Amino acid sequence: MPGTCVIGLQWGDEAKGKLVDLLTSDYEIVVRFLGGANAGHTVVVGDQTYKLHHIPSGILNPRVINVVSPGVVINPPTILKEIDGLIERGIEVGENLMLSARAHIVCPWHITEDRLMDGKQLESESIGTTLRGIGPCYRDKVGRSYAIRLGDMYRDDFRERIEQIVAVKKRLLAGLNGRGENDYGLDAAVIHDEYQGFAGRLQRYVTDTTSYLLDAVEADRRILFEGAQGSLLDVDHGTFPFVTSSNSSGVGVSAGSGVPARWIDRVLGVAKAYTTRVGGGPFPTELHNETGQRIRDLGKEYGTTTGRPRRCGWFDAVAVRYAARLSGVDALSLMMMDVLSHLPEINICTAYDLDGQRTTNFPGHAEDLRRVKPIYETWPGWETDVSHLRRLADLPIRARQYLDRVSELVARPIEVVSVGPDREQSIFVK
């Protein structure tokens, strides 16, 4: 069976890019199957840091084919910038990148809609989206009438399609915001010309990735599916409505890539040794104190895509266990262990108190999750720098005890421990 997935088990930013980069040498193809430029995957190789948004982290390995499949929403100018940036730094981007003609494209009106709607959706708290037009683009995909796919840019009616959609979007935006239809800078002719330029530059990469991947699995080629965001941001199974607009847990791999589940035999779940979240929504173990700020500073917890400070808190075993079960995880990769090295005491949330009842179930409603009180177990910190260690046996006993406890609570073995951003700073347990 050729398929392995790497899936985030928290609210995104679990350092999946590093793990994918570590694993790619064992795979021929790396597939990105959801999300878009809301994601920011950081990969550090030696003294070079790469920040990828759409393109799979496999692009840094010259032997790997990188596929952006139908479940992704592609922002043409952003992906072109990404491609140019890689080429400028000497990374080859040519036949090793394939973009699905079925993938939907993010258009300027999506970004405007995202800006207008994010603050308005809920009276109490906004979702705090990345403002990359992701939700509006997926909404149009599911709504079908006003959607544009990458392959549509090469068809004769592309201009007409833009004109029709722009006419509707101008009315919609005016209705949403009470301003005039021409106040949003949407000019169909300008957008068409600009996007035709993008289409020309992207054409060499656009193809039928679904057939390519089906042929690949039938030929037993080894494929790595690179998750984006995290399981708790899954639109169906996450902390709705404080989620992204696609299936970002393991259950989304087949739908987004077009590869049936029968070809996927291994799922690696990625979690940080603590928890972070960007944007709004409940976060039971969040720390609003100095320790939270310490974790933010030590872990450089600022968004790759938006630069926003990430909310930080203790490891939540209830949430990660739920995510690991949902995503069908076989083994865990625990990231950023080095960040905890500087803390005298470390808490792990082992259960929730929901209205006086102890539970280890992850509530399905955001308002219930908002009410839970985390039940903590307190562990002494190891207070020793671990970033130079490469073997499990060399870790301080307290760090190993922490790993054992996390593994026990999540009911999955830990296979990789990351002790720093570099490829080298990794401990393979097996």
Query: Catalytic residue numbers?
Result: 13, 41
CB of 111: closest distance to ligand IMP in angstroms?
10
Specify whether the CB–CB gap between 85 and 204 falls below 8 A: no
Asked if 112 touches ligand IMP (CB under 6 A), the answer is no
Provide the 8-state DSSP code for 7. E
| Count of residues near ligand IMP by CB under 6 A | 21
CB of 41: closest distance to ligand IMP in angstroms?
8
Specify whether the CB–CB gap between 138 and 245 falls below 8 A: yes
Half-sphere exposure of 170 (CA within 13 A, CB side): 14
Restricted to residues 4-23, the positions that interact with ligand IMP (CB under 6 A) are: 11-13
Restricted to residues 134-193, the positions that interact with ligand IMP (CB under 6 A) are: 134-135
Specify whether the CB–CB gap between 387 and 394 falls below 8 A: no
User: Which span sits near ligand IMP by CB under 6 A: 38-46, 169-177, 211-219, 415-423?
Assistant: 38-46
Restricted to residues 228-287, the positions that interact with ligand IMP (CB under 6 A) are: 228-229, 233, 242, 244-245, 278-279
Specify whether the CB–CB gap between 65 and 113 falls below 8 A: no
| Residue number, 75 or 209, with CB nearest to ligand IMP | 75
Asked if 85 touches ligand IMP (CB under 6 A), the answer is no
Specify whether the CB–CB gap between 374 and 296 falls below 8 A: no
User: Which span sits near ligand IMP by CB under 6 A: 121-129, 209-217, 254-262, 365-373?
Assistant: 121-129
Strand partners, 45: 48
Longest pairwise C-alpha distance within the chain: 66
CB of 212: closest distance to ligand IMP in angstroms?
26
Position 90, amino acid: G
- Residue among 316, 68, 342 at smallest CA distance from 208: 68
Nearest residue to ligand IMP on Cβ basis: 279
CB of 233: closest distance to ligand IMP in angstroms?
5
Both tokens of 326, joined, read 């949902």
| Residue number, 51 or 89, with CB nearest to ligand IMP | 51
Length of the chain measured in residues: 430
CB of 321: closest distance to ligand IMP in angstroms?
20
| Residue number, 118 or 338, with CB nearest to ligand IMP | 118
CB of 174: closest distance to ligand IMP in angstroms?
23
Task: Annotate 342-409 with DSSP letters as a single string.
Answer: T-SEEEEEEEEEETTEEE-SPPSSHHHHHH-EEEEEEEE---S--TT--SGGGS-HHHHHHHHHHHHH
Specify whether the CB–CB gap between 35 and 229 falls below 8 A: yes
Both tokens of 296, joined, read 């933010």
Q: CA 388: distance to chain centroid?
A: 28
Restricted to residues 125-144, the positions that interact with ligand IMP (CB under 6 A) are: 127-130, 132, 134-135
Q: Which residues bind ligand IMP (CB under 6 A)?
A: 11-13, 38-40, 127-130, 132, 134-135, 228-229, 233, 242, 244-245, 278-279
